[in-house]
Amino acid sequence: MSLINASNRGTYTLFKKEILRFWRVAFQTMASPVLTALLYLLIFSHVLEGKVQVYESVPYTAFLIPGLIMMSLLQNAFANSSSSLIQSKVMGNIVFILLTPLSYLQFYIALLGAAMVRGLFVGLAIYLVALFFVSLHIAHLGWILTFAILGSALLGTFGIIAGIWADKFDQMAAFQNFVIMPLTFLSGVFYSIHSLPMFWQTVSKFNPFFYMIDGFRYGFFGKGDVSPWLSLAVVVTFLFALAWVCLKMLKSGYKLRA
């Protein structure tokens, strides 16, 4: 029993360390993405409000907000876990974590938990700020919470994989700029995929980010480009696949152990 308690304390301690790591620079990790999302909201709503209506009886500004929330949530969950690992590897202090009796699963849980907290916190902050601009009706709270939790878990896991793979900060920057950013911006954050030509609609359906955002948006309006059950199936499949890859990498010590 004491061994189990000690193990749990170790997982919690690493989780707490990761929370404090981004909380101490909250202006950069929390306030900055909220401000960025607010700028997107102000610009796009000013330009397109009244000119674009994706769903009947849903103003464009209201349509835009769930996409911005989910986009920021996903990007910040990824940034937290990936930056933690790459910083530890470059600075050389990863060895102090690897020397602990924590298992690879506990290591994964602690890093993933902190990434999810940051992503969900940023998403909630953007939602609260957005309420000053438009009243958001919530049709299905369960779907909102489901996709927010699964989305932050998926990108947190993806961030761990990227952090393990990258050896330098510029590799991580390239990963974020050429993989994460395009996938989030081309996932229906600012538009419905039904407004695209048929070829690009087909391409969008191979983007897992699309299903996370569309399912999340369905929770607000009860409308989406695809069924929320299809979105759920795709997101869960990708989450399990990435978690399996991530745990394999951690268990083998790939690029972590000398």
Q: What is the pLDDT of residues 52-68, one digit of tens each?
A: 666 777 788 888 899 99
| Residue predicted with more confidence, 155 or 95 | 155
> Is the pLDDT at 255 greater than 90, yes or no?
no
Q: What is the pLDDT of residues 112-123, one digit of tens each?
A: 999 999 999 999
Q: What is the pLDDT of residues 33-46, one digit of tens each?
A: 999 888 888 887 77
**Residue 188: closest CA among 22, 8, 68:** 68
CA 151, CA 230: separation in Å to the nearest integer? Answer: 15
Mean pLDDT of 1-11: 63
Q: Categorize the per-residue pLDDT at 5 as very low, low, confident or very high, splitting at 50, 70 and 90.
A: low
